Structure 1
């Protein structure tokens, strides 16, 4: 996640109320339960000295959101005296609980950690005629959330199913069928290139018909082949099959998240060896103030010392934020990969 995406929040004057509402399973009384949860959080903020104008702005934002299935979704809201500065979905790990705090800087640590853990999967359900391509975001312990779906139909007009029997005419028909399937696969992959350039997936998952998967796999460029996972689950529309595919997508997301964190820890160690790293709140803060931080590193379940200040300062210079593997044990829970060496 690039922290510049949050700069508009930090540019507003503090103090801020930061509210986290955990996502819960849909229920008939979900709307009322969310209202009661917010009332408790509102009282907590009031006792902390929150401005009434900020609380009223949060009242209005939540009242507008509590409709349909929306109340089942987790969310984060940030408000100051002038109004709501951030209202976003928050796919926190189940059991995290609600939270609310009034302080000089917004409390965005949990929000950026969730973003860092979330995995973007490009799921391709293939046939010999084309494919359905879904863009999914999978947060820890949550069902996949679909961002967009596209049906891609290949341009080949020939039949893609091969005839039975021998004979010269059957051979010609079979070659044309192979060529049609290959052309359709090329069309799918061309669209995948464009979708991928915007979506920036962590993983490409290829499902569906065996022949369709084979044809698409053969056309994939290296940048998509490098993130490819293939599965024979799903693709036939059956409920059990779709459930099996979802389980596979969740497993791929978990493996990808663990791999990314492990890779980031290795990059951290390499940066340390080349004097392009900092750790500890004081050293990272100094590097951030100099604009030297390329990636701010946090630990998954440990709040860093001066975390809110470090997130704000790094947002000013468009630093990224990411998580290291559990057990890395950064000094004060924070480290940084630097753009250039800094003398501390």
Structure 2
């Protein structure tokens, strides 16, 4: 999972106000319930010293509906000057919360990104397609456009005879040319905008023609979702459920691909490490391709919640002790930071991704690991845990 969207939080002025809110407003009282939850959080933030101008901006922002049906949450982060980040969560938090402090609370925002996918929905018929973009914020798509072919001989006739066969050939040729027009536009836009997934639905014949006509880059991202159409009368609720299922399956595949590589590389003692100290060491050197955080069991706390690290001004300036931070030549005034915040901050600073590992999915010392871009003789090497209880005993070996 990419973390580019968190970059606007780096280097911003404190204090940071983070709101984690149940934004569900399905029934008649839903909007009032959201506002009541926010008002309670605002009173808490006022006591904690959040800037009044920021709270007023949050008031205005949180009055606006997300446009997302069903239960969902929302995470908003503001710095001293105003709102910097606003994302929808596919699941509402068990309890709405808000904090104001020297650093943003990044895990809820990062967890939201793990549940969201930037995708393009393509609804095709034999004349063209409607393209709907979602940018991975969790909201319904925000960009919609149409692509129309210019071949308009679209309907076959049932009668026989040479003239009719010629007409049928012209019709099929029109379908193919229109599909090629749609495919060419998909190839161009996917290359420019780089969605994680392309969902294709609509007329069965048009879907097949477009699938055959797109280039390999689009084909690699393509998932067919039945039940959609450009025409009226579609069971939109049933189709939306299929879209959500396709997105959930994609997220699961994305997560498992990273975790499978982590297991393999850790087992080989090569491009993977685990334990807080070793992950900090490889983050300092910019070696991390993907940071792996272990999710706690329901009701349990994050393993990293027990830990803090020392940081300097730069995102890669982090260490497990003040002395180690001085050794790497950190700039600015050294300060302590929650380990999870510092690790995510460092991952963003080196364009690494982030994957959440479900409880029991992989063995992680201290609840954290990393898949590396490269390794050398000075990279920490891990012994491999063979049982769940071994995670606490993982240590470096020569």
Q: Under TM normalisation by the shorter chain, which class is it?
A: 0.7 to 0.9
Q: TM-score, normalised by structure 2?
A: 0.75
- Matching residue of 2:249: 255
CA distance 1:322–1:126, shift in 2 (3 Å): same
1:94 and 2:127 correspond = no
1:277 and 2:272 correspond = yes
1:149 and 2:148 correspond = no
1:110 CA drift (Å): 1.4
- Matching residue of 2:370: 336
Q: Distance in 2 between matches of 1:204 and 1:233?
A: 16
Q: Distance in 2 between matches of 1:138 and 1:321?
A: 15
1:196 and 2:195 correspond = no
CA distance 1:125–1:13, shift in 2 (3 Å): closer
Q: 1:125·1:206 contact (CA, 8 Å) conserved in 2?
A: yes
Q: Distance in 2 between matches of 1:85 and 1:99?
A: 17
- Matching residue of 1:307: 340
The CA deviation string for residues 117-156 of structure 1, in whole angstroms up to 9 with x for no partner, is 21233222211111112224678xx8x7113222110122
Q: Which runs of 4+ in 1 moved over 6 A?
A: none
1:14 CA drift (Å): 3.8
Q: Distance in 1 between matches of 2:189 and 2:241?
A: 24
CA distance 1:3–1:156, shift in 2 (3 Å): same
1:28 CA drift (Å): 5.0
Q: 2:13·2:81 contact (CA, 8 Å) conserved in 1?
A: no
Q: State which of 223, 229, 232 in structure 2 corresponds to 1:229.
A: 223
Specify the SS of the correspondent of 2:155: coil
Q: Distance in 2 between matches of 1:85 and 1:289?
A: 29
Greater mean alpha carbon deviation, residues 23-32 or residues 329-338: 23-32
CA distance 1:242–1:71, shift in 2 (3 Å): closer
CA distance 1:339–1:304, shift in 2 (3 Å): farther
1:264 CA drift (Å): 1.2
Q: Considering only aligned residues, what root-mean-square deviation do their CA atoms show, in Å? A: 2.7
1:56 CA drift (Å): 1.0
The CA deviation string for residues 272-310 of structure 1, in whole angstroms up to 9 with x for no partner, is 225111212221112112222122122345635210111
Q: 1:279·1:335 contact (CA, 8 Å) conserved in 2?
A: yes
CA distance 1:303–1:59, shift in 2 (3 Å): same
Q: Distance in 1 between matches of 2:4 and 2:91?
A: 24
Q: State which of 252, 259, 283 in structure 2 corresponds to 1:265.
A: 259
Specify the SS of the correspondent of 1:115: helix
Q: What are the ranges of 5 or more consecutive residues in structure 1 without an aligned counterpart?
A: none
1:316 and 2:310 correspond = no
Q: 1:9·1:85 contact (CA, 8 Å) conserved in 2?
A: no
Specify the SS of the correspondent of 1:145: coil
Q: 1:3·1:318 contact (CA, 8 Å) conserved in 2?
A: yes
Q: Distance in 2 between matches of 1:291 and 1:145?
A: 35
Q: 1:264·1:324 contact (CA, 8 Å) conserved in 2?
A: no
Greater mean alpha carbon deviation, residues 181-190 or residues 113-122: 113-122
1:65 and 2:98 correspond = no
Q: 1:113·1:300 contact (CA, 8 Å) conserved in 2?
A: no
The CA deviation string for residues 78-119 of structure 1, in whole angstroms up to 9 with x for no partner, is 344x32252312324134331122343211111112112212
The CA deviation string for residues 60-89 of structure 1, in whole angstroms up to 9 with x for no partner, is 112222445359884333344x32252312
CA distance 1:308–1:152, shift in 2 (3 Å): same
CA distance 1:304–1:288, shift in 2 (3 Å): farther
- How many residues align? The count is 334
1:220 and 2:214 correspond = yes
Q: Distance in 1 between matches of 2:119 and 2:262?
A: 25
CA distance 1:200–1:22, shift in 2 (3 Å): farther
Q: 2:15·2:101 contact (CA, 8 Å) conserved in 1?
A: yes
CA distance 1:92–1:57, shift in 2 (3 Å): farther
CA distance 1:250–1:164, shift in 2 (3 Å): same
